[in-house]
Structure 1
């Protein structure tokens, strides 16, 4: 089958899909294509390392890194929730298999070079396990766009406007930049808007299933981000109000409501139980969440809360209206939305406000190192349906001024998001931190400290460019083939979406179904259940644990499984930083992977501890003489 035939078959397949499925696939492909392919951010690293630990060792201990917490077995654990690591298990497993098949810690142009501080024994990047984990957020971002379309078709009789609203959310809000990274915020946002869709059921016969899947959606949101609880409570109550409106005239209304309440509570209660078990695995206590630093605490400080609310509304660095300009339309036409959908509008506004108040109570409400208000992604997604009246006016060309306003805010948001995905945000954040402008959230109100300004400066200078597509185009390999596939999918999907926009309204309205939302929830819940079933606490003494890890690393290294071996050695160094054997073996792995500078730094560390460690001395002398080739490589 040639390329033309493959393209034709793919296009025919897309024609049979409903709009929401096309939106999911098209936007997910777009997000992955413009993403970095690798990363170096502590939050991301802890998430992926936790999933990888489950796959490799059935435990959740990770190598020492900033923000990791000391816990069971004198080792370290993520401080983040279990939701995203567990959801990503299938993709991290796939990436590990690809790493084993290639036999290197350098995953080519897709994964790129290792990124991170040289002093750390384990540097992220270059691994296909990391590239594969980034697929998760691309899919989540695509799913947000798809679900927003479905929410729009529930609220509006004009599916074309719903489609435009969903596209705007995918291109002109923080959904776009967050879908290219591996943070928990996108999963949280997807699940709360999905719960809203399920709870907006209009058929009493679907009340039980909607309660189950809506509750499960809230449960996954809580596992992803515990601060999703306030919004989850509001949405649960909204679901109860909708259910009461459906059954209040029926004879068995109370039994139906009790059943609905029980079914909708299964997910949130399961999330609470799962979070407590995760705490037990990490710290040996079900009530210890790991947030022990003063900066991570929640406080009832009216001044701080007011400052945080002001920052998220009007500041140049965090305002949701700067990083999601379409929300300006919700301000302009909010009264019209309330008149048409009073219950839904109150629910969405209340959930977004509850989330804002929760975040504003955190001492680090500014997000420290971030591109825009990533803590507020949940609220941004919840508020997007309230822009529907503006998109209805634009879709019908009822008002030329409305069409121009909609086009302007979408274009502005798209430019802001392009800046965010174009460069490595974290590198710029290091510069901002070094300049002393990040401390105490004061930078939020300084226009020159806005991440847009920093990122735009780097983009104009052509420095620090992020997308893996640039690497794929510079040196053709398998990554270029993948990029071509993604471009074709995006092109064909975009054509199909354009056809939907030109199609009669009835054609779009009749293509919606419950299959995709149920599939999304199932795809999240099943790996979570599997992950909890796999997980075991570290119960061995540190010395015994380190000995087993060292032997496991040697076995993996001899078998050609470089990534798994690297993990084991890094964990040994987390337990015993002076272990010269683990440091030396890490040096050999880096030398075999062509990471000459990293190998020399590791050998130098060994020789500082033991100047008579002959293999390290010989390998280092060889590298200093040749800077290439491994024919004289000495193993332990």
Structure 2
């Protein structure tokens, strides 16, 4: 082993510079213009309840009847993961404060503010896609296009507006790769902390530490750097086992149905996560630019084999792990593979000039696929199917459902019906009925599925006309587009170098 690791990029790239700062704020502004006014779905609300409970009671419990499992202390606990609720606490606290001050439903205001966190995380991950592409030897134009593709041409745009753990895990993994591919000893040690946090974000994050450790071993780094992600993984497992004990009185009890883990149907799930348009699958359907990642990974293999091992190792390990999990649910595209989308888009960013027009075309296609979810809840379609027939719903949420039942081919029509309901339903009626269950057999009549799913739709409840919110949202989008242009123009300039540090910026 050698004590000094070499930077695989051949030069240092600043992660903080005018192009990346402009990119971050541009993506944030555009996302925030379409911020949701609430959370639909069990997973997201569970973690919101956990964050609220941490603020108000100092524990992870959720309300009785919210779908949790009763612990030995008599309180109910979610089977979800601890890190997102912990990190979201300041955002949720602001939402609770605003709701109480304006006499608005706290469940909505705390959810809206909590959702800001995943927007910030997704924008930060997009910046890391840019920086990581440069670190791997990509050109600035390719890095910029890959970043835009990640933010607006994949399912990352959809899950930035949901309160799920995947955006947080995507950020942790991408940051760990960025640090690992550098030469800083502190950065390499930092991958150990990230390996521990990845497990707290979601147990699947246990794959991060071993992949990074293998990379350090192959790169012939010093032993302390190799051990950092290993120790982080062990610490992360220990913290998660302690979390299990706090909830359920046993380190081995997580509340998850482990019977879903097995080899039956492995091949079909492995294929379906990439090519089936059904619920929970279809990476190439819901994230079209990732199709070209196959070429990008080959380019990376030709240029930097060790970095290929790490990048492909993350992609392959997450894919194979979830191929062994018999999942189903109200998922938009490959939800469980969202953490590897940044790695795929980094490989797309390494492609040369002749690939740029195909990449741009696929990004536009990806935006059209995911675009309806900017104004509506994608869950509206599943709710409509549930109102028709339970057996039909079970077919619809399966990975290999009939293509005609896939969400991707029905979202535009369902979005149109939700918008039609929104224009015929007074906002005050939604406010007055907050928390009320929909009529039996009419799940699509739930309050959040009958609105325009953006924050400014609720402004009349605070005495502010809707058009004011629309004007603010359009201004935010306009400024965001202007910042994207600024980032593109600055990024085209050749890097200046300081003789003392030789750092381009």
TM-score in terms of structure 1 length = 0.65
Q: How many residue pairs end up in the alignment?
A: 447
How far has the Cα of 1:100 moved from its partner? Answer: 2.4
- Change in 2 beyond 3 A, CA 1:479/1:290: farther
Contact kept, 8 Å, 2:330 with 2:379, in 1: the verdict is yes
Quick check: 1:222 aligned with 2:199?
yes
Q: Which residue of 2 aligns with 1:69?
A: 69
How far has the Cα of 1:104 moved from its partner? Answer: 3.8
- Change in 2 beyond 3 A, CA 1:180/1:442: closer
Contact kept, 8 Å, 1:419 with 1:452, in 2: the verdict is no
Counterpart among 414, 418, 422 of residue 371 in structure 2: 418
- Change in 2 beyond 3 A, CA 1:161/1:404: closer
How far has the Cα of 1:388 moved from its partner? Answer: 2.0
Contact kept, 8 Å, 1:423 with 1:455, in 2: the verdict is no
Contact kept, 8 Å, 1:472 with 1:483, in 2: the verdict is no
How far has the Cα of 1:465 moved from its partner? Answer: 5.0
How far has the Cα of 1:156 moved from its partner? Answer: 2.4
Q: Which runs of 5+ in 2 are unaligned?
A: 1-15, 421-449, 499-505
Q: Which residue of 1 aligns with 2:304?
A: 341
Q: Which residue of 1 aligns with 2:423?
A: none
- Change in 2 beyond 3 A, CA 1:144/1:312: same
Quick check: 1:406 aligned with 2:359?
yes
Cα distance between partner residues in 2 of 1:36 and 1:419 = 13
Any idea what the Cα deviations from partners look like across 1:174-203, whole Å, max 9, x if unmatched?
Answer: 1100001100011111111110001001x3
Cα distance between partner residues in 2 of 1:161 and 1:234 = 26
- Change in 2 beyond 3 A, CA 1:503/1:472: same
SS of aligned partner of 1:326 = helix
Q: Which residue of 1 aligns with 2:241?
A: 276
Contact kept, 8 Å, 1:234 with 1:350, in 2: the verdict is yes
Please give the residue correspondences for 1:605-620 in structure 2 after superposition, counting only pairs within 5 Å. Answer: none
Quick check: 1:259 aligned with 2:233?
no
Q: Which residue of 1 aligns with 2:155?
A: 174
Q: Does 433-442 or 381-390 show the bigger shift? A: 433-442
- Change in 2 beyond 3 A, CA 1:225/1:466: farther
Any idea what the Cα deviations from partners look like across 1:359-418, whole Å, max 9, x if unmatched?
Answer: 111122xx411111111101222211111233x31xxxxx3xx34312210110011111
Q: Which residue of 1 aligns with 2:314?
A: 351
Q: Which residue of 2 aligns with 1:427?
A: 380
SS of aligned partner of 1:99 = helix
What is the RMSD computed on CA atoms of the aligned residues? Answer: 2.6
Quick check: 1:387 aligned with 2:387?
no
Q: Which runs of 5+ in 1 are unaligned?
A: 1-15, 108-124, 248-256, 394-398, 512-636
- Change in 2 beyond 3 A, CA 1:309/1:438: farther
Quick check: 1:471 aligned with 2:462?
no
Cα distance between partner residues in 2 of 1:504 and 1:420 = 30
SS of aligned partner of 2:410 = helix
Choose 1 or 2 for highest CA Rg: 1
Contact kept, 8 Å, 1:84 with 1:187, in 2: the verdict is yes
Counterpart among 446, 449, 473 of residue 402 in structure 2: 446
Quick check: 1:460 aligned with 2:409?
no
Contact kept, 8 Å, 1:91 with 1:136, in 2: the verdict is yes
Any idea what the Cα deviations from partners look like across 1:259-316, whole Å, max 9, x if unmatched?
Answer: 223433453333222212211111111221111474xx31133xx1111012112112
- Change in 2 beyond 3 A, CA 1:239/1:487: farther
Contact kept, 8 Å, 1:421 with 1:466, in 2: the verdict is no
SS of aligned partner of 1:437 = helix
How far has the Cα of 1:453 moved from its partner? Answer: 2.3
Any idea what the Cα deviations from partners look like across 1:326-384, whole Å, max 9, x if unmatched?
Answer: 011122444223212222223212211111111111122xx411111111101222211
SS of aligned partner of 1:287 = coil
Please give the residue correspondences for 1:10-409 in structure 2 after superposition, counting only pairs within 5 Å. Answer: 18-65=18-65, 67-105=67-105, 125=107, 127-201=108-182, 203=183, 206-207=184-185, 209-242=186-219, 244=220, 257-292=222-257, 294=259, 297-301=260-264, 304-317=265-278, 318-364=281-327, 367-390=328-351, 392-393=352-353, 399=354, 402-409=355-362
Cα distance between partner residues in 2 of 1:138 and 1:196 = 21
Cα distance between partner residues in 1 of 2:362 and 2:194 = 30
Quick check: 1:437 aligned with 2:392?
yes
